[in-house]
C-alpha cells in the first residue's frame, strides 16, 4: 500500500474515532474498583450504545495496526442492546474479524432458538460479514469439541471479549460450584447450577426449569482473562446483587465475576437498575 494511502486511512480512522466519541452517550458516573473501570448510565439504551461505541473504536484502532482481530461474544438478552448498536456502526472491517462465542448447551436440538450459536446468528453472526465464525457444536462428541475449540482459540491471541455477569456472578458458564481461577483447561464441560438454570427461564429463553439443559461447554475463567481487553455489559435489576459482589466482595469463586477486578483492561457497563449505588 502506498504511503499516501496509509496516511489517508489513518486520517479516516481519526475522524471516525472523533465522531464516535462525540456521539457516545456519557455515563452518569465513572468509578474504579481495583483495575476495573465502571461506567453507569441512566438507562439500558445508553449503556448499550456506549459499550458498542467503545467496542467499535477498539476494533477500528486494532485493525489499523494488525491484519485481523479475534473476539469472543456472549449470548444473552443482556447483550442485545449493545449488539444492535454495534451492528449499526459503520466503518468496521468485519471481514477482518474472526468471531467465537463463550459457551453452549449440551443436549439441545441444533435448531433450537435457545442454542447460543443460533441466538448469536440472529443478533450478530448473521448480520455482519465476519472473516470466520467458530460455533461451539457439542454434537456428536462434546469432549472432542472441547479439545477442538480450545485448539482454535489458541491459534492466535484473543483481542477482545464481550461478556456479561450472571445473577449468581458467573462469567460464561463458570458458575460458583465449578469456577476455577487457576483452571488448567481453556474449555471444559460443566454442570449448571440451579440458580443459573433458573435465570435462563427468567430471561424467557426456556418455558420452565426442566427444559434447561443440565450441562454445557464453556470457556474457563483463565481463558477469558487472557484476552487483551474485556467489555462487560450488565443491565437489569436482577443483576444488582451480583454487581455489588463483583465490585465490593472478596475475589472469590463464590462470585466468579469478582476476578474481573484483576484484569488490566476491563470496563464494566451498568445502568440505573443494575447499579448498586443508584
Residue range 90-147, pLDDT digits in tens: 999 999 999 999 999 999 999 999 999 999 999 999 999 999 999 999 999 999 999 9
> Domain holding 68: CATH number?
3.40.50.1360
Q: Is residue 221 part of a domain?
A: yes
Q: What is the pLDDT of residue 6?
A: 47
Q: Is residue 86 part of a domain?
A: yes
Q: Is residue 278 part of a domain?
A: no
Q: Is residue 23 part of a domain?
A: no
Residue 13 has pLDDT above 50, yes or no: no
Q: Which domain holds residue 194?
A: 33-159+171-238+249-264
- Which residues in the chain belong to E strands, given as ranges? 29-33, 36-41, 69-73, 97-101, 103-105, 132-134, 160-163, 187-191, 215-219, 229-234, 266-271
Residue 16 has pLDDT above 50, yes or no: no
Q: Is residue 4 part of a domain?
A: no
The number of distinct structural domains making up the chain is: 1
Q: Is residue 274 part of a domain?
A: no
Residue range 220-277, pLDDT digits in tens: 999 999 999 999 999 999 999 999 999 999 999 999 999 999 999 999 999 999 999 9
Q: Is residue 76 part of a domain?
A: yes
- pLDDT band, residue 23 (cuts 50/70/90): confident
**Other CB atoms within 10 Å distance of the CB of residue 51:** 28
Q: Is residue 2 part of a domain?
A: no
State the average pLDDT over residues 151-170: 98
Amino acid at each position: 500500500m502506498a504511503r499516501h494511502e496509509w496516511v489517508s486511512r489513518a486520517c479516516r480512522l481519526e475522524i471516525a474515532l472523533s465522531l464516535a466519541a462525540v456521539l457516545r452517550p456519557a455515563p452518569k458516573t465513572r468509578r474504579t474498583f481495583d483495575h476495573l473501570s465502571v461506567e453507569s448510565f441512566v438507562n439500558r439504551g445508553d449503556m448499550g450504545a456506549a459499550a458498542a461505541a467503545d467496542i467499535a473504536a477498539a476494533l477500528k484502532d486494532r485493525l489499523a495496526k494488525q491484519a485481523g482481530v479475534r473476539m469472543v461474544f456472549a449470548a444473552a438478552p443482556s447483550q442485545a442492546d449493545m449488539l444492535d448498536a454495534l451492528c449499526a456502526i459503520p466503518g468496521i472491517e468485519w471481514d477482518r474479524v474472526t468471531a467465537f462465542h463463550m459457551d453452549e448447551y449440551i443436549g439441545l436440538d441444533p435448531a433450537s432458538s435457545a442454542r447460543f450459536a443460533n441466538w448469536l446468528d440472529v443478533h450478530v453472526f448473521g448480520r455482519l460479514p465476519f472473516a470466520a465464525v467458530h460455533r461451539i457444536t457439542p454434537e456428536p462428541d462434546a469432549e472432542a469439541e472441547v479439545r477442538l475449540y480450545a485448539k482454535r482459540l489458541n491459534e492466535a491471541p484473543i483481542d477482545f471479549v464481550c461478556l456479561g455477569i450472571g445473577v449468581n456472578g458467573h462469567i460464561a458458564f463458570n458458575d460458583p460450584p465449578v469456577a476455577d481461577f487457576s483452571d488448567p483447561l481453556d474449555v471444559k464441560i460443566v454442570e449448571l447450577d440451579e440458580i443459573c438454570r433458573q435465570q435462563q427461564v427468567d430471561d424467557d429463553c426456556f418455558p420452565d426449569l426442566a427444559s434447561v439443559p443440565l450441562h454445557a461447554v464453556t470457556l474457563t475463567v483463565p481463558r477469558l482473562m487472557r484476552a487483551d481487553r474485556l467489555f462487560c455489559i450488565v443491565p437489569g435489576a436482577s443483576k444488582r446483587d451480583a454487581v455489588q459482589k463483583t465490585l465490593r466482595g472478596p475475589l472469590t469463586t463464590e462470585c466468579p465475576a469478582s476476578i474481573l477486578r484483576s484484569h488490566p483492561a476491563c470496563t464494566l457497563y451498568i445502568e440505573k437498575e443494575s447499579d448498586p449505588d443508584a
